[in-house]
Structure 1
Amino acid sequence: MQVKLFDSELQVMNILWEEGDMTAKQLSQILNERIGWNKNTTYTVIKKCIKKEAIERIEPNFICHPIIRKEQIQEQETTELIDKIFNGSKSLLFASLLDKKKMSASEIEKLKQIVKDLE
């Protein structure tokens, strides 16, 4: 199932992925503290996530449960980025990332291991 989440919806999902199931009220309080959203904004975004089947509403107490996994969204977003910006080329994406940032020896070793595991 492909679900396109906007930035506001990802804010909600990230909290649920980090913290697990919680009530809409708790979610609203966290989002108010972190980014200043009011209750109505939070509930509107939660309802959009429910409509997209990213969140399941469990009663009583309007408990929000993430249906989709973070890894699923990461994979979708990465694939979309590669297709849209790099014409489907993973190597161009990596070349772009590696060209713009200094990497530690540890990061370089991790990348070497990832490539080795793919062989």
Structure 2
Amino acid sequence: MIDYKLGEVEMQFATIIWDNEPLTSRALVGLAEQHLNWNKSTTYTILRRICERGIFQNEHSVVTSCITKEEFLAGQSEKFVEETFSGSLPQFLAAFTQKKKLSDKEIADIQALIDAQKEG
């Protein structure tokens, strides 16, 4: 089962992998040093942790994702709605739109999603 919880820095690291995969663990060390100022030990420790969560795999020193970034974000969003709004998307949307007025385009996009769900 995938654990959809990543901290801010872990998410930055994960994005580096998604943006560059497949990549060798050595190349990942270089990218983590360049973008996050991490040393080799930190990179391998965090890589091991996120691999244990089922998001990535490191086989034969090649790092690849088990799920896409979009799948991860969708799972993370679903988990948030489940935990915060008892799984109720209408409650989430009601709370969200109390503070933010939706544009006409956003309303049309949401309506298109609803219409596609009705059809499929």
Q: Same fold (TM over 0.5)?
A: yes
The amino acid of 2:111's aligned partner reads K
Alignment of 1:96 with 2:95, yes or no, is: yes
Q: Distance in 2 between matches of 1:40 and 1:114?
A: 44
* 2:114 matched residue in structure 1: 115
* 1:66 matched residue in structure 2: 65
Segments of 5+ residues of structure 1 without an aligned counterpart are none
Q: Distance in 2 between matches of 1:51 and 1:117?
A: 35
Aligned residue pair count: 117
Q: Distance in 2 between matches of 1:102 and 1:24?
A: 44
Q: Percent same amino acid among aligned pairs? A: 23
1:8-49: per-residue Cα shift (whole Å, max 9, x none)? 443332222222211222222323333332322111111223
Q: Distance in 1 between matches of 2:96 and 2:39?
A: 36
Distance 1:50 1:88, change over 3 A: closer
Q: Distance in 2 between matches of 1:45 and 1:20?
A: 16
* 1:15 matched residue in structure 2: 16
Give the drift of 1:4. 4.1
1:79-101: per-residue Cα shift (whole Å, max 9, x none)? 22112111221111112222322
Q: Give the TM-score normalised by structure 2.
A: 0.76
C-alpha root-mean-square deviation of aligned residues, in Å?
A: 2.3
Q: Distance in 2 between matches of 1:102 and 1:40?
A: 46
Q: Equivalences for 1:20-35 in 2 at 5 Å?
A: 20-35=21-36
2:5–2:76: 8 Å Cα contact kept in structure 1?
no
The farther-off stretch of 100-109 and 19-28 is 100-109
Distance 1:29 1:101, change over 3 A: farther
Q: Which runs of 4+ in 1 moved over 4 A?
A: none
User: For 1:14, what is the secondary structure of its paired residue?
Assistant: helix
Segments of 5+ residues of structure 2 without an aligned counterpart are none
Q: Give the TM-score normalised by structure 1.
A: 0.76
1:12–1:27: 8 Å Cα contact kept in structure 2?
no
User: For 2:72, what is the secondary structure of its paired residue?
Assistant: helix
* 2:41 matched residue in structure 1: 40
The amino acid of 1:2's aligned partner reads I
